[in-house]
Amino acid sequence: MPVLFRPASLYFLVSYLLISSLPFFPLLQGQPVEKPWHVLAMEVLSWLGFWALLQRPRWFHYLLLPAFFAVPVEVYLRLYFGQGISTHHLGIMLETSPKEAIEFLGNKVWLLLLLVITVTAWWWSLLRIAREHGYWHWSHKSRWLVLALFAVGIATWAYGQEVGIAKKPASASTKTSSNSGSGSTSAAASEEEDEDDNESSASTATSASVSATEGTLARWGKSLRAQLPELPYWAEIPYDEETYMRSWPFGLALRANDFWKERDYLAKLSEKSRAFRFQAHLDGNPELPQTIVMVIGESSRFDRWSLNGYERDTNPLLKQESNLISFSDVVTAVSATRLSVPIIVSRKPAAQSLKAGFSEKSFLTAYKEAGFKTYWLSNQMSFGQFDTPTSVFAKEADVTQFLNLGGFTNSSNLDQVLLEPMTNAMRDAAPKKLIVLHTLGNHWNYSHRHPQSFDQWKPSLYGIVNPAYTDLKNKQALNNSYDNSILYTDWMLSEVIQKLKASPQITSLFYISDHGQTLYDGSCNLAFHGHNTQFEFHIPAFMWYSDAYQEQFPDKVVQMRLHKNAKLSTENVFHSLLDMANIRYPDEKLEWSILSKQLKPHTRYVDSYGWTNYDNSTIKGDCREIMDKKTPLVQEK
């Protein structure tokens, strides 16, 4: 019998083929695979190189153990969330404690145990075959030829990376097609679909993590470029890191490397504020039970809330709350989550929001110093180019949970996933608690931010997997879906308030959105965020308080009502949240607190062609661009 058809050999080969076929799993779900032939070629070459280098399967099979354990996770994520393992998922798996995992899995923990035993047995059976049989030992001299070819390929790729690659001569037809493509609509300039805040300013966070070694290599590369000829275009190695990252099992190594780089970047940001202390203390009885909830919304704009005068009844539940104060004039400095959230949670000045990191900690640490147990419960991402800066602050909490397995995809969890862990936090025996809920809110795709029961205004985009958001024909459906997502946000926030109402403790809630959205308003051909429009800077914010809170802090409630129309910004949030709990610290600024009679107006800078004074600006066109009447301040990055 030929070697290939022997049972042990077939079992070994089919097992490796199965784990290599995971990138093509979407085909079973009737979905396309991006660059399938490129992925397949990369996998074949990787197996060939791996085999040639280590010669015997028994040696590289040890290295594949993590990949075998990752197979069930990959299948689960692809089946239910339409994506494979990412940096975010690695963060959740590696940073979740056994206790948290058991709580999350519940009765399914036994299924997980069975799965672990099965995968271990699978891997071990293949190891025995690799040890006992020499079917796949590569002893032929062709192995050295393959290694030599790989060495030449790697050297050629490295040369092209350091020295540069010559451009391919453009043919007449290429020039014609490139020119004809330059007349795209301005709507397409807003392509920010799957990951949050994919703007040009994203390089800020990346550049902050460049090491001195990389800087030396860059200078060396420039020197070589000046002395050596560029690699001919026809010799370019068609390596695409993003595509390779999707391959199996070798792409897992790149994803793991991505995770550790993000961990390192997060650690460097955290190091800046490691020794920082607010020296905060509670002005009051530390044993008096109190729970404060801070909700950070996402992509919600002020004028789409009926609570703020919108003609559609998008807030039927919140408007019934008599103990709710909606602030009418709050702006965010930057229309990007990763840049705006640090301003919300810390004392980072608005005009420094483009700079990576901050030397101080967030209100979470101030609350902890004052004796509160703190929670950060998130339906957003934990790691990634746009999310790590927020995670720096999130990890200050006593309990940090990231509950979103779907990222920003269509299969993401709805925000109601936060309700159960919030309930568990409220049951904690600690008398003082701060619970932060970071929601997906009204992030695109809007129709995937709510269940079908909230699909009230139609036509909508509900049920459409990949709507053409740059197509103005979908303008009405897109706007209806956005309003439907606000309607769901109303329900979600009402549920949180009902839980706080049912508590015998002193309870209160503060809500604010990180930024708004532009939605093809009037003749404006812009959508989403990352533009300079009033729709993105003017955000909803409100505070709800229990009757017990009003009895305990009557003066604060009076001041909030007096200030509901004051000119405020996200810079007011930190100071207001600490004042809300009666937390004091040496260099406090009560003139920035919405709850204080000392409140004073401040210059509200927004990221519009520089730092523009929002209150000394004009509004241009249907896009309502914010234009400073004077010269905007120069931005430092």
Query: How far apart (Å, rounded) are the C-alpha atoms in residues 350 and 281?
Result: 26
pLDDT single digits (tens) 490-507: 999 999 999 999 999 999
Q: Which residues of 341-351 are buried (b: 16+ CB within 10 A; e: fewer)?
A: bbbbbbbbebb
pLDDT value of residue 90: 72
Would you state the CATH architecture of domain 278-628? 3-Layer(aba) Sandwich (3.40)
Is residue 106's pLDDT more than 70? no
92-to-140, 256, 400, 403 alpha-carbon distances in Å: 44, 13, 10, 8
What are the helix (H) ranges across 96-250? 98-105, 109-132, 142-163, 172-180, 203-208, 212-227, 241-245
Angle at 217 between CA 211 and CA 147, to 5 degrees: 115
AA identity, residue 171: S
pLDDT value of residue 207: 38
Span of 433-442, 451-460, 466-475, 509-518 with lowest mean pLDDT: 466-475
Query: How far apart (Å, rounded) are the C-alpha atoms in residues 535 and 524?
Result: 11
User: Mean pLDDT, the chain, as a whole number?
Assistant: 85
Whether the model pTM is above 0.85: no
pLDDT value of residue 92: 60
Q: Indicate the SS3 state at residue 35.
A: coil
pLDDT single digits (tens) 598-607: 999 999 999 9
pLDDT value of residue 358: 83
Span of 43-57, 177-191, 387-401 with lowest mean pLDDT: 177-191
Task: Provide the residue ranges of all domains of the chain, joining segments of one domain with +.
Answer: 1-166+230-272, 278-628
111-to-81, 116, 117, 125, 548 alpha-carbon distances in Å: 20, 9, 10, 21, 45
Residue in the structure block whose two tokens are 């949050």: 196
Residue 409: alpha-carbon gap to chain centroid = 11
pLDDT single digits (tens) 291-342: 999 999 999 999 999 999 999 999 999 999 999 999 999 999 999 888 899 9
Are the CB atoms for 340 and 332 separated by under 8 Å? yes
Selection from 479, 611, 608, 529 nearest residue 198 by Cα: 529
Query: Residue 246's pLDDT band (boundaries 50, 70, 90)?
Result: confident
Query: Residue 466's pLDDT band (boundaries 50, 70, 90)?
Result: confident
Q: Indicate the SS3 state at residue 393.
A: helix
Phi and psi angles of residue 468, each rounded to the nearest 5 degrees, phi first: -80, 90
